[in-house]
Amino acid sequence: MDSDHDDSPPFDGFIGSCDRMRELFRHIRKIANSSATVLLLGETGTGKELVARAVHEQSPRSTGPFVRVNCGALSESLLESELFGHIKGAFTNAIENRTGRFEASHGGTIFLDEINSVSPTLQVKLLRVLQEQEFERVGDSKTISVDCRIIAATNRDLAEMVEKESFREDLYYRLNVLPIYVPALRDRREDIPDLVRFFVNRYAIENQRIIASVTSEALSYLKAYLWPGNVRELQNYIERAIVLADGDEISAELLPSHVRGEAPVRFGRVRTELQSLCAELVSRGLSEVAEDGASHEAVMGLVERELILQVLRSCQGTQTKTASKLGINRNTLHKKIEDYRLHDEAR
């Protein structure tokens, strides 16, 4: 088969047989032979690092290093040193020379995860590497040339960030040469049984357990859940179920209550996580509402629309069931569906 038309997974452990994933696998093989920069788009937990590794493994650079950097995990100064290296004495605690990740990826691929979190100062330096394939270590004047393929990933809309002037337009166009969208798990539900089997086998071995089956009830809940955390969330819940299982079966009772459609237990830690997510949503919502007096309607509307949409989808578009689950009048729900134009999205 022509490799450009091969829609099988590019390596073991990369699970997917739905149309969206087969198209993704074909796209990976098609672009792998190029040295052009790749930009991976998709929600957190969808498997963007797996896609990056697949592009590297299928490319002529596969014998070279694959170097991953999580740009969102480090402060600006630490990230600069991590990417470009530094010389002894460049700053406090720089007690010896250090090779940066770009230098270490020479002849291979560097994967810049969460590129959207890079500061404006470092964006300028990244742009230079993309344009000239050269840089200097922190504190040094000697220019280092590097030959590596750059794959970047973002869970934010970079085009929107460019419009808001929080991301450089020239860097965006340099990164967005070969964009690849990695689908959310809720958009490829038919792959859930295969993913469940894969993770059951992996974590049964890791935990020295024998798991013979997953009940049909448990699988039904897993297929119906919306998966805001995508494949990573599914992976975590399967590992949890295997650790908690008393016998050789994964039953529905071993799944978190919210996956079964019940209200989650409100431990302090969960509240803290939800509160921080809520705080970030409100903060970003306020920053995007320029008009005085419009903040409440804009932010609350955003939350209400998403709440109704998710419950509608979980109820397969049945309005009576959705209204009951939300605890609102069916006529009120119908009006809100009209107001938010949710008819097509709820299917």
pLDDT beyond 90 at 139: no
| Coil, strand or helix at 104 | helix
Query: Are 167 and 116 within 8 A, CB to CB?
Result: yes
pLDDT value for 292: 61
Residue type at 79 in one-letter notation = L
Tens digits of per-residue pLDDT, 256-273? 998 988 765 444 444 455
26-33: list long-range contacts, CB under 8 Å, 24+ apart. Answer: 27/180, 28/54, 28/55, 28/58, 28/180, 29/3, 29/4, 29/58, 30/4, 31/55, 31/178, 31/180, 32/58, 32/59, 33/58, 33/59, 33/60
Given this model, what pLDDT does residue 271 score? 45
Percentage of residues of the chain with pLDDT beyond 90: 56
Classified as helix, coil or strand, 334 is helix
Nearest in space to 147 (alpha carbons), one of 81, 85, 65? 65
Three-class SS of residue 273? helix
Q: What is the token pair recorded at 140?
A: 């040094």
Q: What is the pLDDT of residue 101?
A: 93
Q: Is residue 230 scored above 80 in pLDDT?
A: yes
Give the range among 89-93, 142-146, 306-310 with minimum mean pLDDT.
89-93
Instruction: Report whether pLDDT(105) > 50.
Output: yes
pLDDT at 112: 96
The answer, yes or no, to whether residue 347 has pLDDT greater than 70, is: no
Q: Give helix then strand counts, H and E, for the chain.
A: 14, 11
- The answer to whether the Cα torsion of 124, 130, 133, 138 is positive or negative is positive
